[in-house]
Each structure stands twice: as structure tokens, then as C-alpha cells.
Structure 1
Amino acid sequence: MIVGIDLGTTHSLIGVHHATGGELFPNAHGDLLTPSVVSLDGDTVLVGKPAQDRLVTHPGLSVATFKRLMGTAHERRLGERRFRPEELSALVLRSLLADAEAALGEKVREAVISVPAYFTDAQRKATRAAGELAGIRVERLINEPTAAALAYGLRDRAGEGRVLVLDLGGGTFDVSILELFDGVVEVHATAGDNYLGGEDFLTLLVKAFYSRHGIDPRRVAAADAAVVRHRLEQFKRDLTDERSAQLQLRLGGEDLRWQLEEAEFAQLAEPLLQRMRAPIERAMRDARLKPADLDDIVLVGGAVRMPMVARLVTRMFGRLPLRHIHPDQAIALGATVAAGLKSRDASLEEVVLTDVCPYTLGTQVAHRVGHQVQTGYFHPIIPRNAVVPVSREDEFFPMQDEQKQVRIDIYQGESPMVDKNIKLGEINVPLTAGKGSAGVRVRFTYDINGLLQVEVTESATGQRHELLIEQNPGLLDDAQIRERLAKLDALKIHPREQQQNLALLTRAERLYEEHVALRSTLQEWIAQFRSRLESQDLALIEQDRQRFATAMDDLEIMA
């Protein structure tokens, strides 16, 4: 039996696909939604609703929103014990599996688990590890908006169409553009923000509440802070359903009141709404679509209930989005469909599902500009939104003819400079004596579960080397932190640090990130301008800066 699981930041669900469609299983409390909260009561682990209640009563023994820590070694302390995010997620999974087994009357051994489309390689591996800790085999990871659109496309749409899915959950925001035709659900583009969700809107209300009453949050006891957050969560829900809401609570021996209009909340949240626009616009650009090309816009995720989200989408696209699918259940239902596909459910035999790589994957290269060699440039091998599974190869050559070794650094990201991307790992390849100039062929293979395999082949001998990525990207140890601080302290004033030059390079990097087709041109411009900065000739730098700015003005007009 293969189940589908939506392992969410704030709530999680589990279900299975039958011939008649997806079925979600209720937990022991009769609810389909299980809060993604864990608490310790002595030696007993509590998960879900009781643990959620203990967030207020026992904040030091309870934890939530740990999904945001997936892919890191950050530990959360509960009493005298410490848990990694994979372990906490595994406890939630075990609770969900117990509910499914109670409903099915049989042991569950395999699952399809949904993940945010913008989850990194490390976060996906951590999700798989959580499944293993929970005692199940993770058959597949499916991107959350893809899962939602899969449920939507199979259930409610006849014929062809392009659908934009906006998934604003508790901790993440994902965007996917899909085309549905002849039983095929094909992803064209995906984008998102792993640190934007309903929790951020709640945090905004908490900060506004403290500011409104002149309270320093650093002086609020943990138990009181938990109460404030809990009450403001309901306050946020009231603002979702009504035009205004009132809050009254006692804090520090004082009765506090707050009344807020929904329109005022939307004004407070404008910076968050602007952050939502960027991934939407990026996905539309990558798919080369205009608003009129879309047949439907679907909103999923609990946070889309906020009226300001629908207003934002309506302003951007000039039409009302669809919300007739239960926003909390759509992803889980899609995960059950994916599970049905894996188990070869007869009712799904005509369905084909494709997905895309959410990040650009590549390696570090050096550029030779005149007599200078500049390092640290990102060379894409698999571009973002390439349909998976995908395998791409490129050839690289050493800087010196008699070079005995070449190091292949593996990165993911959208910046032209590797230090602004995420390093996934590296592989050192010895070169056969006297044949170093022949170079190496590097092949990246990215599978449907979001896992990357790197293979390096010596062009001269055909000898192959494979990369096993072991470390978690984005995690710095104490030694690395001290090393980076020392480098920052050692910096001196240099023309490249002048604000105009820095702003120009930042603009170029933004354009590089936004326009995949123009990356080669932009990277050449960046290399030339950085070379000019190295000269420290202020007059020549000024001339190049003006030319660079004009070229980018023309580029943006054409794009």
C-alpha cells in the first residue's frame, strides 16, 4: 500500500487513492488536518492537536514550524532533549501512518510525500531521511503545487488548458505553471520562496501588536509570548472572515485591546505581498506566457484564505482565481494521485505527470580577460525549469597544459557568481600525466525525486569519477564562521565597493537571474566590468559604468 502525504509546515495530511478517487484519513480526533507540532510530556511524545495546545502551556517542551529547518543541522531543544528537524518530521509522519493504518487495517510501508517546489537538494534529502526514520520507504517526492494541480486537473478539468497554481502554505510560497492535455499534466515553470508563508503574516501581526502597545518583545516571558501568538493566530483568522477584528488579552497584569481593519492588515502586509509578486513574475517569464494565455488560476494552501491574496492575484491577472478546491486538502489529494500512479492504479493508467528542476545546477569556472584570470563564475549545466528526468553534459579544460588535477565544484542557484549560490559538493579528478589539456566531460543527471548525480569523465582516457554529495549545503561550522569574519575584517576600500559600481553589478546579477536566455551575454558584461574595476582607473571605470548601464537599459526594454 502506497499512501500520499502532505507534510506541511503548519498541518499535515495523509490519504490513499482508490478507483473512485482520493481518500484522506482522519486522525484520532476526527480531523483530517494534523497540526505539525511535537511536544514532550515526560517520556511521552505528543503530536498534533495536543502538542499544539502545549505550545501555549509548555512552550519549552513543544515545537512547531520545524519544516523550515529541514536540510540543516539545527536542533530544537525540548526539555533536556534535542531533536533534528528530520526527527521531528519523522514523529509527525509516524502519527499520520498510525491514522492511515487504523483506517486501512493494514501496514503502510511506502509513501509519496509532497515538498515545496523550491526545496533544495539538502531539504529533499532531509525529507527522505524523515521517512526512513518513520519506518517507511519514500517512493517519490512530488512538488506541492504540482500535486495540487494534479488533483485539480484530474478531477475538475475537461480538455486542454494552462493553469497557474499559487500555493501559499504556512511556511513556503510556491508557483507552478502547468499545461493539461490528453491525460498529461506537464509542468512548464516553477518558482517560489522557501521563507514566505502564513507564519510570516502572523509574525507581522505579533510585531505590530507589540509596537502598538509599546511592549519590548525581548522582555516578554516565553509562556506569555506563546499566548500572544496563539491569540493573534485566531485574530488573523477573524480578519480573514470579517472586515475587522477585535482582540482583548491580559499581559503582564494589564488588559490590552486591539481593533484592526482588514484593509489595515493588508497595508501592513504590503512588503510580504510584494515578495509574492516576484516568483509569480519569474514563473511567467520562464514559461514565456502572458496573463491572457492562462486558462485558470488556482489558489491552494491555508494562507490563501486571506482576502488580500485574492486581491493581489486579481490585480495582477485581471480575473478572479479559483478556490473551489479545499485549499488545505488539494496538495494531499494530489499526493494520493501520485501514489496511485506509483502503485499503477487502473483508474490512472492514462495519466502522465512531468515535473521540472526548480534551480539551475552548474559548476564553477574561471574567465580569462586579457592577461587576467578571474575565478568564481557560475557555469550552468542544467537550467532551472528543465523537464525532469534530465541529463546534460558539458566539457571543461584545465587552465594549464600540464595540470595534474581538476576540481569540479557543484552549485545550485541563479547568481552568475558562485559565492552567492549554494555549494552542494565537490569532486577532485586526477588528470593522466601529459594529457591534462584534453580536459574533462561533466554530466549532471537530475531525477524526478530532485536528486542529483554528477559524473566526470577524462576526455583522454575515458576514466569516470562519480560524486557522492554528503554535506548539507548552507551549513557553516565554527571554523568557517571565523574564517569569513576574518575575510570581512581584512577588506579595504576599493573602486568595486563604491556604491554606483556595486549597484550596477547587483542590477546585472538580478537580470541574470531573471532572464535565462540572456545569461551568456550578461556574464560576459559582468566579467568585463569586473576586469575594469581591477584596474582602479577611476576615469575608465566611469566610462565603462555608463556603457554598462546603457546596455542594461536597452536589454530590459527588449526583454
Structure 2
Amino acid sequence: MIVGIDLGTTNSLVAVWRDGKPQLLPNALGEVLTPSCVSVDEDGSILVGRAARERVQTHPDRTARAFKRAMGSNKTFALGKQSFRPEELSALVLKSLKADAEAALGEPVTEAIITVPAYFSDAQRKATRAAGQLAGLKVERLLNEPTAASLAYGIHQLGAETRFLVFDLGGGTFDVSILEMFEGVMEVRASAGDNFLGGEDFVDALVDRFFAEHELSPNLRRNALFMQRLAGQAEAAKCALSTSASATMLVSQDDRTLRLEITEALLADAGASLLKRLRAPVERALRDARLRSSELDNIVLAGGATRMPLVRKLVTSMFGRFPALDFNPDEVVALGAAVQAGLKARDAALDDVVMTDVAPYSLGVAVSKKLSATQDSSGHFDPVIERNSPVPISRVKTYWPTKTDQARIDLHIFQGESRMVADNVHLGQLAISLPPGRANDCPVDVRFTYDVNGLLQVEATVQKTGDKFAVLIEGNPGVMDEAEIARRLKALDELKIHPRDMLENRTALARAERIYQMLRGEVREWLANQILVFEAALGTQDRRTVAAAREQLEQQLQEIERNGVLDDEPAPRP
């Protein structure tokens, strides 16, 4: 069985193509959104999803989130006494989604289409593929997120001729793609994006404003527990503005209760630089597609951060029309991944659908240029594959050494759009051995091959000798080799994963612990007793008793939050 997975910064989803349409699959809590969050419990077991997210504020030293942003790097996350790479944390989320899919479908899941930001680099894509492998999945394809959203949208437009833009703002990344559809063919015309721009950055902007408004010491940022609580309040306020005119950030520190009233105007002011950054990729994509905004038939929103009213207002002002609201922006990417899974499985309902994509960024090498007969200038970027070229693509360029009898060329490979390589992203290098001779007599053909998964292969051929050099791009600190993957896979298999059928109970306890730490006075003492009642019910191991106690505790927690007893003064006992 093959599934489609949206591996997101904030939330992840799994979907399947079934009965002629894409369908989202629920997790153990009956929800389709699984928070991309991992925590290590006190007994050493691993918690994934909402249970882990509830522990972000209470156990920040044992919980990791937003690790998607570190994919392709050598960063590690310390959770208690254990240390994890971003691929391993992503693999734990993928494993959880795989288990949920198998429970819903009643059969093993072995293959997956996994979505990635269109602007993910070669190293980030390889890291995502490794995460899938660590989770026990054969990754059939890495699909660009805005392309996936367009598949979900376009599957309902078959037979129509339309041109539309996908505006995909997720928790940690921003992508834009322009697509054209005609006679069952969906063709990506252009893509652009920003790998470090998303809803998390608006949360950070509110945190910064909170510090500024209360003139808090920068040293307080080292207090992990305080920062997690503040970030949680900022996230809640940002989300609340989607349905309310205002929201309150409220955090206790040193016997003081600090408040900040958040309005859309304040969020727009705090995130002004972020809103400005959203414009540049849109303008670049339109230029590359050689289109004016008036020539687009529709604007499709994807990513949970597009729920923010200020983002929707920005989109409306940029394009002079309201965006399409046909799909839930949290779900549209996963639904598109399921459509691609159906294409891979050759479902008869999709026989007439063809999907093409593009390279979202330019790929090339560092070269030297002659300024005069005696002077060279090094560090210039020479593109081999231009951005927004249709993929799969293979291009060859010929280069020469700079000196007579030069023994080798160190070919440095870059991604980006800047004139100088110092301002682009270094992907790796390839050492090419040369025979003796004059520089002009020793040309080297360099072939770049970029596939539908967004993975780059580089091959160099010395014309004089016919020698070919390895396609391996070295130097990416975040890319694991096969031996490292095997070692990490063995380590992951030895981890104690919290039982899936107990997840509801652990999630309720984690939520109760989070709320308990935010309370004071009589209501805090009262909640402690209610937690003890629930723990006693767990001790009976009777499913009906536990379910009834859990339902009662969850109602009590909801009542506490609804009545606003998380304020500075103790509230009446519920």
C-alpha cells in the first residue's frame, strides 16, 4: 500500500487515494492533524504528536518541535539523556503516521509519497528521504508542497483550462508555484520560496514584542520553561486572531503576571518585515512565468499560516481578488500527496492526468573570470541548470582549467541566484583529476541531472582521457551515508515507543500537567486531586473505568480554560 504524507513543520498528515478520491486518515486520537513534535517520557518511552506537544511547556528539555527547519544540517536535539538528528525525529513522526495508516486501512503500508518545500535544497531532500527510510518506508517520490496542493485543487478542474497560483505558507517555510492546466495536463510554470519564513516566525515576532513592551531582560531568554510558556501564549494568540478581534498573552514570572493584548494591527506591526518578505517570492514567480497577476484565474491557499487574516488580506491586496477557499489549507498538501500516490499506483480514475514540475532554483558551479591578460576574478556563479527549468532535466557545460599542467579541478557546486557564489548555498564539491597539458587542451564536460524528486547528480568527463568522476556530491554535513542510516535505524528500533492504544490517556495527563503548572492557589490544588483520581483509574486497568475518568478530566480541563482561571488570581473552585 502506498500513502501520501505531508511532513510539516508544525503538523503532519497522512492520506490515501481510495474509491476514486483522496482521503485523510485519522491518528490514534481520531484527529487528522498530528503535531510534528517528539518527547521522551520519564520512563524513556517516546511520545509523538499531541501528547508530545502538551509537554513542550512543561518539559522543554525533553521535547523537540520545528526540527524540519534543521533537515539537511548536522544539528542535534538533546531530549533528556538522548540525542537525535532531525532525520530521526522526522522518522519518529513518519513511523507514527505509518502506524495510524495501517490501523485505518487494515493492511501494511510500505511506500509513501512525502512532500517537501519546493525550495528545499539537495541536502534537505536527501535528509527527508533518509527519514522515510528510517521509518521503514520506501519513498517513491519527494513531491513539492505547492505542487501537491495544485494536484488536490486541479483534480476537481479536469477538462478545464485554467492558470492559478499556489500560495503555501506553513509553519516554517513559504513556497509559491504558478501552474497551468489544460487537457488533463498540470504544468508548473514557476516556483519560488523562502525556507525560513512561516507561522513560527510570526510567533517569534510576538515574543519579541512581548519582551519589548514589558522591558524584560534578555537574560530571561535563557529560561527555557519561561520561553516555552511565552511561545505557547504567542501561538495561541496568533491562532485566536483567526476568529476573534483580539487575544491576550498572559505569563507569570517572579510573582508577577505579565499581559499583552494582541490585535491584528499589533501582529501586523510586529510582523511587518515578515509580510514584506512574502511579496518577493510571489513577484519572482510571476516574472519567471512571464505573467501579470491579472492573468491568473485563481489563487489557492495552502499551509496553516494562511489562516491568519492579515495574510489573507495581503494576498487579496496583491492580486486584487479574494483567494479560493475550496480546501482546508491545513489538509490540501496531504490530499495532493494522496493524488500523486494514486498516480503512482496507476489508478484508472487518474489515467488522463499528467503532472510536470520545475527546478525551483538555479544550480551551477564556481568559476573564475578573466579581467585582463594577467588578472583573474574568482568566485563567480555559473548556472548549469536555470531556475524553473522543467524537470527531469539534464544539462552539460564545458569548463577549462585556469593553468597549464593543472593537476586537478575542485568543482564547487552551488544553488542560488546571486552573481557571486559567496551569496549562494554550497551543496558540495567534486575533485577532477587532469592529465598534463595546456589549459586550452584539457576541457571538462560537467553534466547536471536534476530529477522529479529534486535530487541532483553531477558527473564530470575529461574529454582528453574520457575519465569519468563519481556522481557523489560531498561536503553536505546533514547527509547520512548508508552505513550511518543502518546504524541509526538499529538505534531507532531499540527505542521504546509509547503504546498507540494508550495515547489518549498520556495526552490527557500531559495536558493536565501543562495546565497545572500555569495555575496557582486553590484551583491548582483542586486540579492536582483530579489528576490523582485519573491516575487511580489508570491503575485499575479497566478500559471502561479509564475511559470514563479520562472524559471527566478532559471536561474539567476544558472548563478551567474556558472560565479563564489561568489568570493571575486564584479562581473559585470549579
1:319 aligns with 2:321: yes
Of stretches 185-194 and 455-464 in structure 1, the one that deviates more from structure 2 is 455-464
What residue is the counterpart of 1:239 in the other structure? 241
Contact 1:240 1:262 in 2 (8 A): no
1:95 aligns with 2:96: yes
Determine the C-alpha separation between the residues in 2 that align with 1:276 and 1:473. Answer: 29
1:459 aligns with 2:459: no
Contact 2:229 2:251 in 1 (8 A): no
| Number of equivalences | 475
1:464-495 superposed Cα distances (whole Å, 9 cap, x missing partner): 223202332699xxxxxxxxxxxxxxxxxxxx
> Structure 1 residue 214: deviation in Å?
2.1
> In structure 2, do the counterparts of structure 1 residues 351 and 250 end up closer, same or farther at CA, with 3 Å as the change threshold?
same
> Structure 1 residue 231: deviation in Å?
2.0
Of stretches 411-420 and 161-170 in structure 1, the one that deviates more from structure 2 is 411-420
> Structure 1 residue 400: deviation in Å?
3.0
> In structure 2, do the counterparts of structure 1 residues 457 and 79 end up closer, same or farther at CA, with 3 Å as the change threshold?
same
Contact 1:170 1:301 in 2 (8 A): yes
> In structure 2, do the counterparts of structure 1 residues 340 and 180 end up closer, same or farther at CA, with 3 Å as the change threshold?
same
Q: Structure 2 length as normaliser, TM-score?
A: 0.80
> Structure 1 residue 439: deviation in Å?
0.8
Determine the C-alpha separation between the residues in 1 that align with 2:98 and 2:51. Answer: 17
1:65 aligns with 2:75: no
> Structure 1 residue 39: deviation in Å?
0.2
Q: Structure 1 length as normaliser, TM-score?
A: 0.82
What residue is the counterpart of 2:121 in the other structure? 120
Match 2:427 to one of 424, 427, 450? 424
1:275 aligns with 2:277: yes
- The equivalences for 1:9-28 within 5 A come to 9-28=9-28
1:485-517 superposed Cα distances (whole Å, 9 cap, x missing partner): xxxxxxxxxxxxxxxxxxxxxxxxxxxxxxxxx
> In structure 2, do the counterparts of structure 1 residues 247 and 444 end up closer, same or farther at CA, with 3 Å as the change threshold?
closer
> Structure 1 residue 217: deviation in Å?
4.8
- Stretches of structure 1 that go unaligned for 5 or more consecutive residues are 476-559
1:386 aligns with 2:422: no
Contact 1:242 1:262 in 2 (8 A): no
1:439 aligns with 2:432: no
> Structure 1 residue 247: deviation in Å?
3.7
Amino acid in structure 2 at the alignment position of 1:167: D
Contact 2:430 2:473 in 1 (8 A): no
What residue is the counterpart of 1:511 in the other structure? none
- The equivalences for 1:98-497 within 5 A come to 98-156=99-157, 158-219=159-220, 221-370=223-372, 371-434=374-437, 437-472=441-476
Contact 1:435 1:460 in 2 (8 A): no
Determine the C-alpha separation between the residues in 2 that align with 1:203 and 1:434. Answer: 57
What residue is the counterpart of 1:39 in the other structure? 39
| Higher-RCO chain (CA-CA 8 Å, sequence separation at least 6) | 2
Determine the C-alpha separation between the residues in 2 that align with 1:231 and 1:430. Answer: 58
- The equivalences for 1:489-528 within 5 A come to none
Contact 1:395 1:441 in 2 (8 A): yes
Moved over 4 A (4+): none
> Structure 1 residue 378: deviation in Å?
1.0
Contact 1:245 1:259 in 2 (8 A): yes
> Structure 1 residue 251: deviation in Å?
2.8
> Structure 1 residue 204: deviation in Å?
0.8
> Structure 1 residue 305: deviation in Å?
0.7
Percent sequence identity over aligned pairs: 54
What residue is the counterpart of 1:487 in the other structure? none
1:268-296 superposed Cα distances (whole Å, 9 cap, x missing partner): 21111000001111111111110111111
> In structure 2, do the counterparts of structure 1 residues 474 and 49 end up closer, same or farther at CA, with 3 Å as the change threshold?
closer
Determine the C-alpha separation between the residues in 2 that align with 1:80 and 1:185. Answer: 48
Determine the C-alpha separation between the residues in 1 that align with 2:420 and 2:206. Answer: 37
Determine the C-alpha separation between the residues in 1 that align with 2:88 and 2:324. Answer: 36
Amino acid in structure 2 at the alignment position of 1:283: A
User: Is the partner of 1:432 in helix, strand or coil?
Assistant: coil
Determine the C-alpha separation between the residues in 2 that align with 1:11 and 1:174. Answer: 17
1:38-81 superposed Cα distances (whole Å, 9 cap, x missing partner): 00012200000000001011111111000000000100100111
Amino acid in structure 1 at the alignment position of 2:9: T
Of stretches 27-36 and 424-433 in structure 1, the one that deviates more from structure 2 is 424-433
Amino acid in structure 1 at the alignment position of 2:342: G
Contact 1:426 1:467 in 2 (8 A): no
What residue is the counterpart of 1:505 in the other structure? none
> Structure 1 residue 242: deviation in Å?
1.7
What residue is the counterpart of 2:490 in the other structure? none
Determine the C-alpha separation between the residues in 2 that align with 1:276 and 1:256. Answer: 31
Determine the C-alpha separation between the residues in 2 that align with 1:430 and 1:469. Answer: 16
Determine the C-alpha separation between the residues in 2 that align with 1:161 and 1:60. Answer: 49
Amino acid in structure 2 at the alignment position of 1:236: K
CA RMSD of aligned residues (A): 1.6
> In structure 2, do the counterparts of structure 1 residues 411 and 247 end up closer, same or farther at CA, with 3 Å as the change threshold?
closer
> Structure 1 residue 350: deviation in Å?
1.1
What residue is the counterpart of 1:530 in the other structure? none
> Structure 1 residue 124: deviation in Å?
0.3
> Structure 1 residue 368: deviation in Å?
1.1
Contact 1:18 1:345 in 2 (8 A): no
Contact 2:159 2:183 in 1 (8 A): no
Determine the C-alpha separation between the residues in 1 that align with 2:213 and 2:277. Answer: 24
User: Is the partner of 2:132 in helix, strand or coil?
Assistant: helix
> In structure 2, do the counterparts of structure 1 residues 255 and 463 end up closer, same or farther at CA, with 3 Å as the change threshold?
closer
Contact 1:422 1:474 in 2 (8 A): no
Amino acid in structure 1 at the alignment position of 2:18: H
Determine the C-alpha separation between the residues in 2 that align with 1:474 and 1:114. Answer: 19
Determine the C-alpha separation between the residues in 2 that align with 1:246 and 1:302. Answer: 21
> In structure 2, do the counterparts of structure 1 residues 94 and 64 end up closer, same or farther at CA, with 3 Å as the change threshold?
same
1:224-262 superposed Cα distances (whole Å, 9 cap, x missing partner): 222222122111111121222234443321123322321
What residue is the counterpart of 1:49 in the other structure? 50
Amino acid in structure 1 at the alignment position of 2:347: D
> In structure 2, do the counterparts of structure 1 residues 367 and 248 end up closer, same or farther at CA, with 3 Å as the change threshold?
closer
Determine the C-alpha separation between the residues in 2 that align with 1:259 and 1:58. Answer: 27
> Structure 1 residue 435: deviation in Å?
6.9
> Structure 1 residue 131: deviation in Å?
0.5
> Structure 1 residue 461: deviation in Å?
3.1
Determine the C-alpha separation between the residues in 2 that align with 1:117 and 1:456. Answer: 27
Contact 1:409 1:425 in 2 (8 A): yes
- Stretches of structure 2 that go unaligned for 5 or more consecutive residues are 480-574
Determine the C-alpha separation between the residues in 1 that align with 2:50 and 2:71. Answer: 22
User: Is the partner of 2:55 in helix, strand or coil?
Assistant: helix
User: Is the partner of 1:354 in helix, strand or coil?
Assistant: strand
